[in-house]
Structure 1
Amino acid sequence: MSDSSVKEFCKTWWAEVYNRIIGAVVFLDDASSECLHWDGGLFNLLEGGAVAVKSLSPFECATKDQRKGVFITQTTSTQLRTIQDIIKHSDFSHCTLISCVSLDVVYLELHEGKDVSDVITAGRGPAEATKMLEDMMVQWIGRSPCAVQVVHIPIFTISPTNVVFLTPPFHAMFPLYDGRLTPETTSVDLYTLKSEERSQIRRLASCLNSMFESMNLKEDVYYMGTYSSLLAGVLENSPVCLSRRKNCTNPASLIIVDRTLDLCSVTSHSMESVLDKVLAVLPKFPGHSNEVAVDMSPLCEANVITHPDDLQLSPGCLYHANDDICTQTFEHMLNKSQKEVMFDLYNKLSKLDVQRSPSPKTLLRVTPQSVDKIVTAAKGNYDVISNHLGILQLALAVVQTLKSPRRAQLELLASLEKQVLQNLGASRDSTSVLQQMSTLIKSRKERNLPLDNLLALIIHIYSLGGTEVTFSKTHEQDLIEALSVAMFEDHKSLFPQVEGHIVTPEECDEISQKTLKRLKEIALMRKNLQKYNSLIKTSETGIGHEYRGLLLQLVDDLVDTDRPELTDLRHRNEGIKDLLRSGLNILTSKKSRTLKHPLESPTVILFVIGGVTAEECKRLHRSVITSGVDNAVLIGATKFVTPVEAMKDVLLL
Structure 2
Amino acid sequence: MSITSVKEFSKYWWTEVYNRIIGAVVFLDDCSAECLHWDGGLFNLLNGGAVAVKSLSPFESASKEQRKGVFLTQATSTQLKTISEIIRNSDFTHCILISCVSLDVVYLELNEGKDVSDIVAAGKAPAEATKQLESMLLNWIGKKTSAVEVVHIPIFTISPTNTVFLTPPYYNLYPTFNGKLIPDSASIDLYSLNAEERAQVRRLASGLNSLLESMNMKEDVYYMGAFSSLIAGVLENSPVCLSRRKNCSNPVSLIIVDRTLDLAGVTSHSSESVLDKIMSTLPRFPGHSNDVAVDMSPICEANVISHPDDIQLSPGCLYHANDDSCIQTFDYMINKSQKEVMFDLYNKLSKIDVQRSPSPKTLVKVTPQSVEKIVVASKGNYEIISKHMGVIQQALAVVQMLKSPRRAQMDLLMSLERQILENLAASRESTSVLNQIGHLIKTRKERNLPLENLLALIIHVYSLTGTEVVFNKQHEDSLVETLSVAIFEDRKTLFIDDETGIMTPEESHEISKRFMARFKEIAQMRKTLQKYNSVLKPCDTGTGHEYRGVLQQLIDDLVDTDRPELVDLRHRNEGIKDLLRTGLNILTSKKSRNSKHPADAPTVIVYVVGGTSAEECKRLQRGVMTSGADTAVLLAASRLLPPAAAARAALPL
Residue in structure 2 matched with residue 102 of structure 1 by the alignment: 102
Determine helix, strand or coil for the equivalent of 1:527: coil
The question of whether the paired residues in 2 share the 8 Å contact of 1:4 and 1:603 is answered with no
Partner Cα separation in structure 2 for residue 366 and residue 94 of structure 1: 56
Alpha-carbon displacement from aligned partner over 1:231-279 (angstroms, at most 9, x marks no partner): 0000001110000000000000000000000000100000100000001
* Local SS of the residue matching 1:502: coil
- Whole-angstrom CA distance in 2 between matches of 1:7 and 1:281: 28
Tell me how far apart the structure 2 counterparts of residues 481 and 252 of structure 1 sit (CA, whole Å): 50
Q: Structure 2 CA distance, aligned partners of 1:237 and 1:354?
A: 62
Counterparts of residues 128-527 of structure 1 (less than 5 Å) = 128-495=128-495, 497-500=497-500, 502-527=502-527
Measured in 2, the distance between the counterparts of 1:187 and 1:585 equals: 25
Q: State the 1:81 CA deviation.
A: 0.4
Could you say which residue in structure 2 is the equivalent of 1:627? 627
2:343, 2:83 → 1: CA distance? 48
* Counterpart Cα distance in 2 of 1:140 and 1:609: 37
Deviation string, structure 1 residues 554-580 (Cα, Å, up to 9, x no partner): 000000011100010001101110110
Cα deviation for residue 186 of structure 1 reads 1.0
Give 2:26's aligned residue.
26
The structural deviation recorded for 1:3 is 5.0
Does the 8 A contact of 1:221 with 1:571 survive in 2? Answer: yes
Q: Identity rate of aligned residues, in percent? A: 72
1: CA distance, partners of 2:256 / 2:500 = 41
Structure 1 589/330 Cα, relative in aligned 2: closer, same or farther at 3 Å?
Answer: closer
**Conservation of the 8 A alpha-carbon contact between 1:2 and 1:8:** no
- Is the 1:4–1:632 Cα contact (8 Å) retained in structure 2? no
Shift of 1:540: 1.3
* 3-state SS of 2:172 partner: coil
On the 8 A contact 2:514/2:652 being kept in 1, the answer is no
The SS at the match of 1:218 is strand
What amino acid sits opposite 1:140 in the alignment?
Answer: W
Shift of 1:548: 0.6
Q: CA deviation at 1:500?
A: 2.7
Give the alignment's TM-score, normalised by structure 2. 0.99
Report the Cα offset of residue 173 of structure 1.
0.4
Secondary structure, counterpart of 1:491 in structure 2:
coil
Q: Which runs of 5+ in 2 are unaligned?
A: none
User: Residues 158 and 168 of structure 2 are in contact (CA less than 8 Å); yes or no, is this contact kept in structure 1?
Assistant: yes
State how far apart, in whole Å, the 1-side matches of 2:417 and 2:318 are. 28
TM-score under structure 1 normalisation? 0.99
* SS of residue matched to 2:525: coil
How many Å separate the matches in 1 of 2:180 and 2:515? 12
CA distance in 2 between partners of 1:295 and 1:329 (Å): 19
- Indicate how the Cα distance of structure 1 residues 404 and 217 shifts in structure 2: closer, same or farther if over 3 A, else same: same
Q: Return the offset for 1:430.
A: 3.0
Aligned residues between the structures? 652
| Contact persistence 2:271–2:277 (CA under 8 A) | yes
Separation in structure 2 between the aligned mates of residue 91 and residue 396 of structure 1, nearest angstrom? 44
Residue 45 of structure 1, CA deviation = 0.2
Map of 1:556 onto structure 2 = 556
Q: 3-state SS of the aligned residue for 2:463?
A: helix
Task: After the TM superposition, list the runs of 4 or more consecutive aligned residues in structure 1 that deviate by more than 3 angstroms.
Answer: 1-4, 588-593
* Superposed CA offset, 1:400-433 (max 9, x none): 0011111110011011101111111111113110
CA distance in 1, matches of 2:461, 2:590: 43
Q: CA deviation at 1:307?
A: 1.1
**Aligned-partner SS, 2:72:** strand
Distance in 1, Cα, partners of 2:296 & 2:305: 12
- Bigger shift: residues 467-476 or 422-431: 422-431
Q: Secondary structure at the match of 2:427?
A: helix
Kindly provide the amino acid, as one letter, of the partner of residue 398 in structure 2.
Answer: V
How far is the alpha carbon of 1:398 from its aligned partner?
0.4
Residue of structure 2 equivalent to 1:618 = 618
SS in 1 for 2:561: coil
**What amino acid is aligned across from residue 366 of structure 2 in structure 1?**
V
Alpha-carbon distance, 1:585 to partner: 2.0
Question: CA shift at 1:2, angstroms?
Answer: 5.6
Contact 2:515–2:652 (CA under 8 A) maintained in structure 1: no
Q: Secondary structure at the match of 1:293?
A: coil
Distance in 1 (CA, whole Å) between partners of 2:249 and 2:218 is 6
Q: CA deviation at 1:221?
A: 0.3
CA-CA distance at 1:496 after TM superposition: 5.3
Deviations 1:36-77 (A, max 9, x none): 000000000000000000000000000000000000000000
Residue type matched to 2:108 in 1?
A: L
Counterpart contact for 2:6–2:165, Cα < 8 Å: yes
1:501-543 deviations in whole A, cap 9, x for unaligned? 5211101000000001000000000001000000111111111
Indicate the RMSD between aligned Cα atoms, in angstroms.
1.0
Q: CA offsets, 1:598-629, max 9 Å, x none?
A: 01001100000000000100111111111111
Q: How many angstroms apart in 2 are the aligned matches of 1:356 and 1:621?
A: 38
Sort the Cα spacing of 1:306 and 1:25 in 2 relative to 1 into closer, same or farther, 3 A.
Answer: same
1:309 to partner: Cα distance: 0.9
Q: Letter of the aligned partner of 1:90 in structure 2?
A: S
Pairwise CA distance, 1:179? 1.1
In structure 2, C-alpha distance between the alignment counterparts of 1:372 and 1:346, rounded to whole Å: 9
